[in-house]
Amino acid sequence: MKKLIPLFISVVLLSLCGCSSNKLEASEKDVELTISAAASLQDALNDIKPVFEEENPHIKLNFNFGASGALQQQISQGAPVDLFFSAAKDKFDKLVEDGRINQKQGIDLVGNELVLVIPIGSNIGIESFEDLVNAKQISIGTPEAVPAGQYAKETLENLNMWGDVEKKVVYAKDVRQVLTYVETNNVEAGIVYKTDALISPKVKIVATAKENTHAPIIYPVGVIKDSSNPKEAQRFYKFLQNQTSIDIFEKYGFKGLN
């Protein structure tokens, strides 16, 4: 009987160790997160991705980049998304109002600026927003779906220019398409975020919109309530707020809000 007691204890200990190991494996199972993010965040988030994945090897990040309005509609219609990173507060707030995002799991993370760009080497003489009356074609994002387009239209309205340039506008599906139109000389000028203009060697910034001509350009991010991986989504949400991530955002021209 005495010989059986140590054997019994050993079996129990092995069993407990096995349970602990199984719990650890279960908690660290491989997970894929889907992040719907504004197109203007593409370069910064692609830099953040390997840093996060190196620290969290069981989590893979999949980005779905596009216009914030289109992404918001996809989430409203039930698209399987874990986090939403918007270029406009109204699109984000709509999901909060609809109960798709818990307000306590959302934060205004970074800001941006709106700029007027022309192709490198252009000699049309556009040096300010007011000069757009001399352009034949200009491009902005579709205001109803693309926040940058919404800010662009608002700026032109506040400068009392919208009526003069509306017929010249070539609408784009997102801010990156506006940039492409300018880079390829399909239009003579475009209005984009400063962060997009800075990454292109084919365009020149000629003017920056004054802050009082448009609503503040703020990028909120939050966890989707019905995320299939809430724990991992929360981990990436917090990672986006650390200094490493903020430094990367600022490298690409975004402004910290704190």
| Mean pLDDT, range 63-89, rounded to an integer | 94
**Cβ burial, residue 7 (10 Å; 0-12/13-18/19+):** exposed
| 147 Cβ contact list (under 8 Å, min separation 6) | 38, 67, 68, 69, 86, 87, 88, 91, 141, 217
| Mean pLDDT, range 55-78, rounded to an integer | 95
DSSP state of 100: S
pLDDT given for residue 104 in this prediction: 87
**95 and 157 Cβ atoms separated by less than 8 Å:** no
Percent of the chain with pLDDT over 70: 89
Identical fold between 30-111+218-256 and 114-213: yes
| Mean pLDDT, range 114-134, rounded to an integer | 94
Look up the pTM and report it: 0.80
**141 and 174 Cβ atoms separated by less than 8 Å:** yes
Binding residues, by number, are 40, 68, 148, 175, 193
CATH architecture of 114-213: 3-Layer(aba) Sandwich (3.40)
**85 and 38 Cβ atoms separated by less than 8 Å:** yes
Identify the band that residue 27 occupies on the pLDDT scale cut at 50, 70 and 90.
low
Distance CA 244, CA 258 (A): 15
Domain segments of the chain as ranges:
30-111+218-256, 114-213
Q: What is the pLDDT of residues 230-242, one digit of tens each?
A: 999 999 999 999 9
**Cβ burial, residue 136 (10 Å; 0-12/13-18/19+):** exposed
Q: Does the pLDDT of residue 1 top 80, yes or no?
A: no
Q: What is the pLDDT of residues 172-214, one digit of tens each?
A: 999 999 999 999 999 999 999 999 999 999 999 999 999 999 9
Say which CATH topology domain 30-111+218-256 has: D-Maltodextrin-Binding Protein; domain 2 (3.40.190)
Identify the band that residue 29 occupies on the pLDDT scale cut at 50, 70 and 90.
confident
Binding residues for molybdate, by number, are 40, 68, 148, 175, 193
